[in-house]
Amino acid sequence: MISLTLGLVAALCWGLHDFTIRRIGGRADVAAMFATVTLFGLLPLIPVALLAGGWQAIGPQQMVLAVAAGITSVSANIGLYRAFTIGPVSLVAPICGAYPVLSVLFSVARGNPAGGQEWLAVLAVVAGVAVVARGEGGASSGSRLAAALWAALASLSFALTFGLAQWSAETGAHLPVAAITRLTALAVALVWLLQRRPGSGGLAAIWPSLLIMGFLDVGALTTVTLAGGLPNAEYAAVASSIFGIVTILLAWKFLHEPMRPAQWGGVALVFAGIAALGLA
């Protein structure tokens, strides 16, 4: 139940994060925004990780796993950006949102069997997210196959990020692992930024929003990492996948974007799946 709760906290953080993106998207280069958000996320994390301790539990294996998680977190965001740039949302969002299945498979591969009720609950969550996302519609600006492949990369990368970070944190070094993952992500993001060589125009006007996004993003990833070593740690990854629904509900409430009846049915299906996981 603790893992599930941590995942729901992460979903809320990422939902607020993506809601903010909807309001400032397109006002600066995506690589510059990602690097800035990643940097801002380190501001609260590094002092807390240093004060909390646990660095002695970081051995070579934990270091490799945390660094790998940082790399896959960047590939997840690049895949997500590319997929949504091509679109449509109704195609790419369900694929991106399918990573809970991969997270459970990752856990099973590590020797943690999943029962029938767990699989049904996970599939209910994934199906509900897909129903809500398909109601968003949207147009395609390129190859649907390319969009699907980028979305698949994002889905796989998200599952690996959470699985590797939780694996690394099983020794109890949760905050050090989160810090190493974030520092690695920043290094890779800077390489991406140098490769694109964008201008810095627009960042000055939106830096307060980017600061909030940085805090929300690091909070979400850290809460999922905290599930490492807990029973059913994969539940945190599963629950975190409903962040898209949080974003859509916020847009419905505050931006007055419409919600179709089928989307409300998808929301109900998601929460039924979450409830079933809580009882598993």
The reported pLDDT for the residue numbered 56 is: 94
The reported pLDDT for the residue numbered 139 is: 62
pTM over 0.85: yes
For residue 208, cis peptide bond before it (omega within 30 degrees of 0): no
The reported pLDDT for the residue numbered 22 is: 79
Q: What angle do CA 8, 251, 278 make, to 5 degrees?
A: 20
Mean pLDDT of all residues in 203-228: 95
Contact between residue 3 and residue 230 where contact means Cβ atoms under 8 Å apart: yes
- CA dist 8 → 11, 48, 246, 251 (Å): 5, 22, 10, 19
Pick from 19-28, 142-151, 238-247: least confident: 19-28
| Average pLDDT value for the chain | 92
Alpha-carbon dihedral of residues 40, 252, 241, 61, nearest 10 degrees? Answer: 0
The reported pLDDT for the residue numbered 138 is: 64
The reported pLDDT for the residue numbered 140 is: 66
Mean pLDDT of all residues in 121-136: 91
What is d(CA 93, CA 229) in angstroms, rounded to the nearest whole number? 30
pLDDT band at 231 (very low <50, low <70, confident <90, very high): very high
What is d(CA 191, CA 67) in angstroms, rounded to the nearest whole number? 15
pLDDT in tens, 55-80: 999 999 999 999 999 999 999 989 98
Q: Is pLDDT larger for residue 98 or for residue 136? A: 98
Pick from 84-93, 94-103, 271-280: least confident: 84-93
Task: Say how many domains are in the chain.
Answer: 1
What is d(CA 190, CA 40) in angstroms, rounded to the nearest whole number? 13
279 phi and psi angles, rounded to 5 deg? -95, -10
Residue 69, number of CB atoms within 10 A of its CB: 29
- Residue 48's identity, in one-letter code, is V
The reported pLDDT for the residue numbered 123 is: 96
Pick from 33-37, 96-100, 132-136, 267-271: least confident: 132-136
Write out the residue range of the structural domain in which residue 135 sits: 2-279
Tell whether the model's pLDDT for residue 177 goes beyond 90.
Answer: yes
Tell whether the model's pLDDT for residue 257 goes beyond 80.
Answer: yes
Q: Which residues contact 117 (CB under 8 A, 6 or more apart)?
A: 276, 279, 280
pLDDT band at 28 (very low <50, low <70, confident <90, very high): confident
Contact between residue 41 and residue 210 where contact means Cβ atoms under 8 Å apart: no
The reported pLDDT for the residue numbered 27 is: 84
pLDDT band at 235 (very low <50, low <70, confident <90, very high): very high
Residues 230-234: contacts with CB under 8 Å, at least 24 apart:
230/2, 230/3, 231/2, 231/3, 232/3, 232/4, 232/112, 232/280, 233/3, 233/107, 233/166, 234/3, 234/100, 234/103, 234/104, 234/106, 234/107, 234/112, 234/162, 234/163, 234/166
Q: Which two tokens stand for residue 115?
A: 């029962």
What is d(CA 138, CA 128) in angstroms, rounded to the nearest whole number? 18
